[in-house]
Amino acid sequence: MVNAIWMFMLLVGFIAAAAQGKIDVVTEAVFEGAKTGVSVSFGLISVMVFWLGIMRIAEDAGLLKRLAKALGPVVRYLFPDVPRNHPALGFIMSNMSANLLGLGNAATPMGIRAMQELQKLNPNKDTATPAMCTLLAINTSSITLIPTTLIAIRMNFNSANPAEIVGTTLLATIVATFAAIFADRWYRRKDAKRPPPQQLKSDKGRYTASQGAGYHTPAS
């Protein structure tokens, strides 16, 4: 649906440009956009390679294990329904550690592995578990100490001070993360009060039977 909308907008743009005799402007903009995209990508690659190398050094030095160990109590609080020694917790801690350093590309594989492990614990394979919803919320709003990708983009566009966004980014991600945790806890409590599907089905059956027998609920 989204792709169809984009194609429709592009088609309308080309038709409007052709009608006004400005098709050359559109062509120039297309090539300029492609050139900018390639240059930005190369800039991001260099910075990402640097930070991934730093992360590998930190991993070999044991810093990531210490960071993951420090996150252990937080992870166990956020995911109380995951067994203590389950592999999913290790992938979740690695995912959160990478996100803290602003390495979203490095965090993504760990998040996927964590979801795969959580799916193994899922009794209903067609419905996401509370732990899976929590992981998605935390991964989306993760606290970021160093916004590596944003700094790389600002450097690529010749920003005078590309790292000046660190403070505001940290504050924004802290607010977003606490909002995500609050929403997750609220929905968990709301879901805990909801009757199980089997009970709902049983109640519905009794209500239908009572209607068929001529019984009605008294008006309040």
pLDDT for position 176: 92
pLDDT (average), residues 165-187: 90
45 or 78, higher pLDDT: 78
Interval 103-143: pLDDT, tens: 766 778 888 888 999 999 898 888 888 899 999 998 888 88
- The structure tokens listed for 84 are 């203590």
Tokens of 111: 């998040």
Contact predicate 134/78, CB 8 Å? yes
Instruction: Round the average pLDDT of the chain to a whole number and report it.
Output: 76
Cα–Cα distance, 109 to 125 (Å, whole number): 21
Is the CB of residue 175 less than 8 Å from the CB of residue 215? no
Least confident of 19-23, 76-80, 93-97, 178-182: 19-23
Whole-number Å distance between alpha carbons of 201 and 203: 6
14 alpha-carbon distance from chain centroid: 35
Alpha carbon distance 88, 110 (integer Å): 9
**What is the pLDDT at residue 23?**
74
Report the sign of the C-alpha dihedral through residues 69, 73, 77, 78, in that order.
negative
